[in-house]
Structures are given as C-alpha cells and as structure tokens.
Amino acid sequence: KTTPTTTTTTISKLTEEQEEEEVVEKEEEEEEEEKEKGSESNNNHKDGTNVKSTNKKKAKVKIPPMQSMSQHRSALQEATLAILKIPTLPPRCLKLILQHLPSKILPNATNPLRFADFCTRAYDMGGVTSLLALNSLFVLMTQCGLEYKKFYPSLYNLIEPKIFYVKYRTRFFKLLSKCLTANQMLP
C-alpha cells in the first residue's frame, strides 16, 4: 500500500531531479556564452580595434540515416571501375591500384568478377604489372570461381632471372608457392 506521504516524497524527488537537470543545462549554456565572449575578446587586433565574431550558435544539423552497406559497396565498385576505365592511367597509379585491389577492393565489391577483365589485361602486360595482377587473379580464381586458362603458361613465363631483382619479388614468390602447392588445382 502506498501512503499519501510516500507519493508526495516521490513527486518531490522527481521535481528535485528536474530542477537539477535544468540547473545543469543553464550552467552549460552559460559556459558556452563565456567561451563565445572569450573568443570575441581574442579578436582584438594589435591596433586596438575590436572585430566582432560572426559565430552564432549553429543549429543542429540532422544527419541522414546510414545507408545500407550494400549501397556503399556498390558505390566503391562503380567508382573503382570508373577509374580503371581511364585510358591514360599513369603506371604509378596502376601499380598502386593493383597493390590494393586484392586486399581492400575485391573483398568489399558486390561483384568482384567485374574486375576480371582489368586483372587479365594487367596480367598480360608483363613485368611488374603482371606480378601485382597475379595476386588479384589468384583471389578471383580461388574465391570467386574465375576460370583463366592461360594462367599457368603466363605464370611460368614470369619466372625469369630478372624477377630476382624486382621490388615485389617476395610477394611474387609467396604467391607462386601458393599457386603451385594448392591442394585443389586452379581452373
């Protein structure tokens, strides 16, 4: 059973809490005003003139709700494919894209097989570009089911004495051992 005294004490506790919240809010507002006044006093020039700050309280901007992850992934895929279609893409950019393609772009793309044409063209170029494209092709073949019949002949063509002096040789030899010692034959 509740008595009238207990209900009045709970009501008085509620009003005390509300009053405390209002006091805290007023103190926060006063602190913000003091900060604004302090920034105005900092706007004094050396010649003694005072420049008023035009910074007024900004209205809170509502942030749109988070889009779905699939929308972000498809936007990443389309943006990357648009960059790859640039005909005069510098070799330095091409190498940078090929370095990050298997680790950062392909796992987040909605349809990674759309990058297969680019990877096969880069793999057929030869040289360092082929070494970097090898990793992307390996990911597409093992995880996405890409069939590339010229994979092993071109892989064997990459093994030349000059490969021992290339910057990315450790990456190449790790991938070479993965390709040749895989339990399942690559397509």
First to last CA, the chain: 79
Q: Which pLDDT score is estimated for 36?
A: 63
pLDDT average per 10 residues of sequence, the chain (187 residues): 46 54 67 63 52 56 68 89 91 92 92 93 86 89 87 84 83 85 65
| Percent residues over pLDDT 90 in the chain | 24
E-strand stretches of 29-89: none
Q: Is 50 helix (H, G, I), strand (E, B) or coil?
A: strand
Give the pLDDT confidence score for residue 2 in this predicted structure.
46
pLDDT (0 to 100) of residue 113 = 94
Cα 110 to Cα 46: distance, rounded to the nearest angstrom: 59
- Residue 12 is predicted with a pLDDT of 47
How does DSSP assign 66-116, residue by residue? PPPHHHHHHHHHHHHHHHHT-TT--HHHHHHHHHHIIIIIGGG-S-GGGGH
Cα 1 from Cα 80, distance rounded (Å): 70
CA–CA gap between residue 89 and residue 13 (Å, rounded): 70
